[in-house]
């Protein structure tokens, strides 16, 4: 991943796609009297039906896409998550898993394979994504990797109508939710607006030197998670900080970043629809919104500590014994997932529970709930 000021010119087909989405955004701005809140721009750039970054057919995740995620790096990651799921399913005497934003489907396949080896399969493995176009890719991955378990997988168009017992899991879902951008002016949060500037878009100028963001949908979203979960946990993995760190005076430009073909930059208004736009997660806000909705904070720690607590070393040794020729590759995967300079510290894991009180295995070695 490289930080850059210059981006390659997208191919003609991509430019035409972006122009179509830009036209829709321009119409929304005009309808709204000359500007729209940044959150609405981000919502359209990522999720506008048929055109948004996540809902149009472009390949985003993986080597040939724009960014790579932990389940794509190593199945050891998903196997650790499966170990945590196994504890919950065992304590509950069975149940279901619901994965939010399932990407290529590889995490679902690896979790199911591991749970099968532990004789702890969920009754159903539900998948809900705002990007229905990913379904074919997910089905293909599951068909190739775990064809005999495909019958347990159910794709949903909306959250289950009946509350479920088990685990709701989402890797890098929170960071893909639209955020409100604000600038502090005399201590007051001024919500930033996007306007048409020349052929593109710009932010309406505001005089202030501290800009950041927040996710206004978090309380509502956690409310719907609480409604869906009868008993079990919600397990979320993402990059982010505790609130004091998130809004640290030194972080005066916020956390918004964009990914295009493994390059990172900070202009979210560039070619809408072609790039990922993402903000780090304020985990204190997640815990608070969870508590307001009756979800108890059951664990919070770094990805490195969660993986170590969930049996990473043992899984690594098993993989080494099974595939000795992959020694270097496997060691490299563990380093990427765990080193503080890679994903180990920047990514956190939070668990919120309902009707489920046992201590969670994934937070055994280092529970940092007190930091939130
Ligand atoms: C960065 S991708 C991560 C994909 C996958 N979990 C992985 O780790 O490779 C974020 C995904 O979350 C989905 N998403 C965002 N908000 C969501 C929501 N409220 N419910 C379900 N999926 C959502 C997006 O459509 C996108 O597919």
What domains are defined for the chain?
35-366 (3.40.50.12710)
Mean pLDDT is lowest, of 55-59, 199-203, 270-274, 275-279, for: 55-59
Ligand 1: lining residues by beta carbon, under 6 Å: 54, 61, 69, 71-72, 100-103, 128-131, 171-173, 176-177
Q: Is the pLDDT of residue 307 over 50?
A: yes
Backbone angles phi, psi at 66, to 5 degrees: -105, -25
Q: Distance between CA 305 and CA 348 in Å, rounded?
A: 9
What is the rounded end-to-end Cα distance, in angstroms, of the chain?
29
Beta strand extents in 42-132 (DSSP E only): 96-100, 125-128
Q: Is-contact 239 347, C-beta < 8 A?
A: yes
Distance 33 CA to ligand 1 centre (A): 32
Q: Is the pLDDT of residue 1 over 60?
A: no
Which range among 3-17, 262-276, 320-334 has the greatest average pLDDT?
A: 320-334
Q: Is the pLDDT of residue 261 over 70?
A: yes
Q: Is the pLDDT of residue 21 over 90?
A: yes
Distance 316 CA to ligand 1 centre (A): 27
Q: Is the pLDDT of residue 160 over 90?
A: yes
Q: Distance between CA 23 and CA 7 in Å, rounded?
A: 22
Q: Is the pLDDT of residue 132 over 80?
A: no
Residue nearest to atom 5 of ligand 1 (CA): 103
What tokens does 117 get?
């080896």
Distance 333 CA to ligand 1 centre (A): 22
Distance 198 CA to ligand 1 centre (A): 32
Q: Is-contact 278 236, C-beta < 8 A?
A: no
* Residue length of the chain: 372
Q: Distance between CA 367 and CA 300 in Å, rounded?
A: 6
If one residue of 159, 173, 217, 224 were mutated to test the ligand 1 pocket, choosing by the most ligand atoms within 8 A of its CB, it would be 173
Residue 64's pLDDT is: 67
- Closest ligand 1 atom to residue 175 Cα is 1
pLDDT band at residue 57 under the 50/70/90 scheme:
low
Q: Distance between CA 164 and CA 16 in Å, rounded?
A: 43
What tokens does 73 get?
């790096």
pTM, rounded to two decimals: 0.96
More confident residue, 120 or 260: 120
> Percent of the chain, pLDDT > 70?
96
What does the pLDDT look like over 75-100, one tens digit per residue? 999 999 999 999 999 999 999 999 99
If you ran DSSP here, which 8-state letter would residue 281 be given?
E
Quote the mean pLDDT of the chain.
94
Question: CB count, 10 Å around CB of 44?
Answer: 23
Which range among 2-11, 74-83, 259-268 has the greatest average pLDDT?
A: 74-83
Question: CB count, 10 Å around CB of 304?
Answer: 24
Mean pLDDT, residues 2-16 taken together: 78
Q: Distance between CA 332 and CA 315 in Å, rounded?
A: 14
More confident residue, 10 or 107: 107
Q: Is-contact 353 232, C-beta < 8 A?
A: yes
Residue 252's pLDDT is: 95
If you ran DSSP here, which 8-state letter would residue 61 be given?
B
- Please report how the helices 327-338 and 75-92 are oriented relative to each other, as an axis angle in degrees rounded to 10: 70
Pairing state of beta strands 96-100 and 164-171? parallel
What tokens does 16 get?
């035409």
Distance 175 CA to ligand 1 centre (A): 8
- Closest ligand 1 atom to residue 61 Cα is 9
Residue nearest to atom 24 of ligand 1 (CA): 101
Residue 131's pLDDT is: 79
Q: Is-contact 43 182, C-beta < 8 A?
A: no
Q: Is-contact 80 312, C-beta < 8 A?
A: yes
Q: Is the pLDDT of residue 2 over 60?
A: no
Mean pLDDT is lowest, of 21-35, 190-204, 255-269, 272-286, for: 255-269
Q: Is the pLDDT of residue 352 over 50?
A: yes
């Amino acid at each position: 991943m490289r930080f850059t000021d210059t981006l390659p010119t997208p191919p003609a087909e991509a430019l035409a796609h972006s122009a179509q989405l830009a036209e829709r955004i321009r119409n929304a701005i005009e309808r709204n009297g000359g500007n729209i809140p940044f959150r609405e721009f981000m919502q359209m750039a990522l999720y506008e039906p048929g055109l948004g970054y996540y809902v149009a057919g472009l390949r985003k995740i993986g080597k040939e896409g724009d960014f790579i995620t932990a389940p794509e790096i190593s199945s050891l990651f998903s196997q650790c998550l499966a170990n945590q799921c196994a504890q919950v399913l065992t304590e509950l005497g069975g149940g279901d898993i619901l994965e939010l934003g399932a990407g290529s489907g590889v995490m679902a396949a690896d979790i199911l394979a591991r749970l099968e080896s532990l004789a702890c399969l969920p009754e159903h493995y539900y998948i809900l994504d705002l990007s229905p176009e990913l379904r074919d890719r997910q089905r293909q991955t599951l068909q190739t990797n775990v064809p005999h378990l495909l019958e347990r997988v159910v794709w949903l168009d909306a959250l289950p109508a009946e509350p479920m017992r088990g685990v709701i899991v989402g890797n890098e879902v929170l960071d893909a939710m639209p955020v409100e951008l604000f600038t502090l002016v005399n201590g007051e949060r001024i919500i930033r607006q996007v306007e048409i500037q020349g052929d593109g878009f710009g932010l309406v100028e505001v005089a202030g030197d501290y800009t950041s963001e927040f996710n206004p949908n978090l309380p509502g979203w956690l409310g719907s998670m609480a409604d869906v979960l009868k008993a079990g946990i919600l397990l979320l993995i993402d990059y982010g900080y505790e609130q004091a760190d998130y809004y640290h005076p030194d972080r005066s430009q916020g956390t918004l970043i964009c990914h295009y073909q493994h390059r990172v930059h900070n202009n979210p208004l560039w070619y809408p629809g072609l790039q990922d736009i993402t903000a780090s997660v304020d985990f204190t806000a997640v815990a608070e919104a969870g508590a307001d909705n009756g979800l108890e904070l059951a664990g919070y720690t770094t990805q490195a500590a969660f993986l170590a607590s969930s049996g990473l070393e043992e899984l690594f040794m098993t993989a080494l014994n099974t595939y000795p020729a992959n020694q270097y590759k496997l060691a490299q995967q563990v380093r990427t997932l765990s080193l503080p300079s890679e994903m180990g510290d920047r990514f956190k894991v939070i668990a919120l529970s309902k009707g489920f009180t046992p201590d969670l295995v994934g937070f055994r070695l280092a529970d940092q709930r007190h930091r939130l």
